[in-house]
């Protein structure tokens, strides 16, 4: 075959456009939800969800998505990627419809879990289809376009969510997915060719069940403890039981010849270190994203649309600096770039410990920009280190492990940091609520959204309750931000100890440690 002949599919760029639409709807949904949390907590205009229920509305999606990602990639290879993509889109659209018309927080959490099933079916097969329809010479460009869709969703999600909430009811942030999914299903059916792996992997059913059960139990214990206190036996049964099941999962994966998560990869420090910093970064960042929406909409009084626009510096910094950070890695080495990125993230996250109700809003915008700049300079050096640490045939597995860790870390960040926020808020406001009627006292003591709801029924006493609630929330935010900054700072220690410097971090260099063993794993 002549070297200049392109072996890609004739409709490959149109197919890529369809795949980007499929990916956009998955990523967009989470960024939209951040702006909608305040409205969902409102008992009049939303569902009256408690803080724990709001955390579950995020985590039920994330945990199911992360738990099924590997297995659904294998199933897509086995039964047909186009077919699996269609099934995933239909499930995602149906779950979006159920979410939009949920009548209770429990129904929303269940519908979001179903969305996680759909999302896990969509994401891995989109990359596999790209690999199938593009010539190797164009594949890098195509994957770059695919990855940029994530940045686009991060940028437009909060603005779109805010605009919808400004004019429609809360369910519109989910309902918007339905026409996009319907359009995507038609385009996939017409344009995307079917493909399968002639030698698909085995499905690790036991591993998937253990990982999902362990993560859900651990997360339930953390969220429930933060909401209702850690003094009850049930909380510790869930936490200890979840850790025990996850330990069982690791033992099972080590013995399995077709693991859903190849834990032996973590024996290679140059692989484990960047995966760890990605996890630590997203743990901290997702936890902070959870409370900033409440800070902006309640403490500062901004509308959902204004809140979405205020998040723009965070997204803009990632869009501006992420493309150039790979060049910085080549020039200065992965370790230096990662330390700078993590350092900026620590400064930004820690700055929230100094922000209060009177802080000029331009300061908050600068903090968001710093946080976005830091995160833009973490992923490229981490990815470069992962690719250089593994033999070439393990590149896909390394990417999938990184993505799974990011999702799980984000879910645990929302759970842990949200629990700290809730516990500190309840402890701080408790003494100020003693003279309130019992119903108002319980509602206001649960969360800042509850306090605002209770204030609407109190008449002349309302301004005093709102002032006390704002003070308690800001105090809780300071503690939560301090924890987030400390978690991100751990990443700096990991980088300095285990990530290679400039001379040792050439992309594509096979790892001298552990490679023979890894090359033979599934």
From residue 44, give the alpha-carbon distance in Å to each of 41, 169, 170, 303: 9, 11, 11, 16
Does this model's pTM top 0.85? My answer is no
User: Which residue is listed with tokens 């659209």?
Assistant: 93
Q: Is the separation of the CB atoms in 420 and 476 below 8 Å?
A: yes
pLDDT tens per residue, range 245-274? 999 998 998 888 877 777 887 888 888 888
Would you place residue 514 in the very low, low, confident or very high pLDDT band (cuts 50, 70, 90)? very low
Judged against a pLDDT cut of 80, whether residue 89 lies above it is answered with yes
Lowest mean pLDDT among 24-38, 84-98, 365-379: 24-38
Lowest mean pLDDT among 15-24, 188-197, 386-395, 458-467: 386-395
pLDDT tens per residue, range 398-434? 667 777 788 788 888 888 898 899 889 888 888 777 7
Q: Is the separation of the CB atoms in 89 and 208 below 8 Å?
A: no
pLDDT tens per residue, range 159-204? 888 888 888 888 999 998 999 899 989 998 888 888 776 766 677 7
Which numeric CATH code is attached to 10-193?
1.20.1250.20
Residues near 108 by Cβ (< 8 Å), separated by ≥ 6?
A: 40, 47, 49, 53, 57, 99, 102
**Domain residues of the chain, as ranges?**
10-193, 204-259
Rounded Cα gap, residues 433 and 472, in angstroms: 12
* Other Cβ atoms within 10 Å of 510 Cβ, number: 13
| E strands in 218-261 | none
């Amino acid at each position: 075959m002549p070297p200049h002949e392109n072996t890609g599919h004739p409709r490959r760029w149109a197919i890529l456009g369809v795949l980007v639409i499929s990916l956009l709807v998955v990523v967009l949904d989470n960024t939209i939800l951040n702006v909608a949390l305040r409205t969902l907590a409102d008992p009049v205009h939303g569902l009256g969800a408690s803080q724990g229920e709001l955390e579950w509305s995020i985590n039920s999606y994330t945990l199911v998505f992360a738990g099924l990602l590997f297995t659904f990639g294998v199933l897509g290879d086995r039964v047909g990627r186009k077919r699996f993509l269609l099934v995933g889109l239909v499930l995602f659209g149906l779950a979006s419809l159920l979410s939009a018309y949920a009548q209770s927080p429990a129904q929303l959490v269940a519908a979001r879990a179903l969305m996680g099933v759909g999302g896990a079916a969509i994401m891995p097969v989109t990359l596999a289809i790209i690999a199938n329809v593009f010539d190797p010479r164009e594949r890098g460009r195509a994957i770059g376009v695919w990855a940029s869709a994530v940045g686009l969703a991060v940028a437009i999600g909060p603005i779109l969510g805010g605009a919808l909430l400004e004019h429609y009811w809360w369910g519109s942030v989910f309902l918007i997915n339905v026409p996009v999914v319907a359009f995507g299903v038609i385009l996939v059916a017409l344009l995307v060719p079917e493909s399968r792996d002639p030698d698909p992997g085995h499905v690790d059913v036991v591993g998937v069940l253990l990982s999902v059960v362990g993560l859900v139990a651990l997360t339930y214990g953390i969220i429930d403890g933060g909401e209702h206190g850690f003094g009850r036996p049930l909380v510790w049964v869930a936490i200890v039981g979840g850790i025990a099941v996850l330990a069982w999962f690791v033992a099972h994966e080590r013995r399995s010849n077709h693991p859903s998560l190849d834990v032996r990869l973590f024996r290679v420090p140059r692989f484990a270190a960047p995966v760890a910093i990605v996890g630590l970064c997203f743990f901290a960042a997702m936890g902070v994203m959870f409370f900033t929406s409440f800070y902006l909409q309640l403490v500062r009084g901004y509308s959902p649309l204004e809140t979405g626009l205020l998040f723009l510096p965070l997204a803009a910094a990632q869009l501006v600096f992420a493309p150039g950070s790979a060049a910085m890695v080549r020039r200065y080495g992965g370790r230096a770039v990662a330390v700078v990125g993590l350092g900026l993230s620590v400064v930004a996250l820690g700055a929230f410990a100094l922000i209060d109700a009177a802080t000029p809003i331009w300061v908050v915008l600068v903090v968001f920009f710093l946080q976005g700049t830091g995160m833009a300079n973490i992923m490229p050096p981490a990815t470069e280190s992962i690719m250089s640490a593994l033999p070439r045939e393990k590149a896909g597995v390394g990417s999938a492990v990184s993505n799974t860790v990011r999702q799980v870390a984000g879910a645990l960040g929302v759970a842990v940091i949200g629990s700290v926020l809730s516990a500190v808020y309840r402890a701080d406001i408790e003494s100020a609520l003693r003279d309130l009627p019992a119903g108002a006292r319980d509602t206001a003591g649960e969360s800042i959204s509850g306090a605002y709801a209770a204030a609407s029924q109190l008449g002349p006493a309302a301004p005093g309750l709102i002032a006390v609630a704002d003070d308690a929330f800001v105090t809780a935010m300071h503690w939560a931000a301090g924890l987030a900054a400390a978690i991100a700072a751990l990443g700096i220690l990991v980088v300095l100890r285990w990530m290679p410097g400039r001379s040792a971090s050439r992309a594509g260099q096979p790892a001298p440690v552990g490679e023979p063993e890894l090359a033979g794993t599934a």
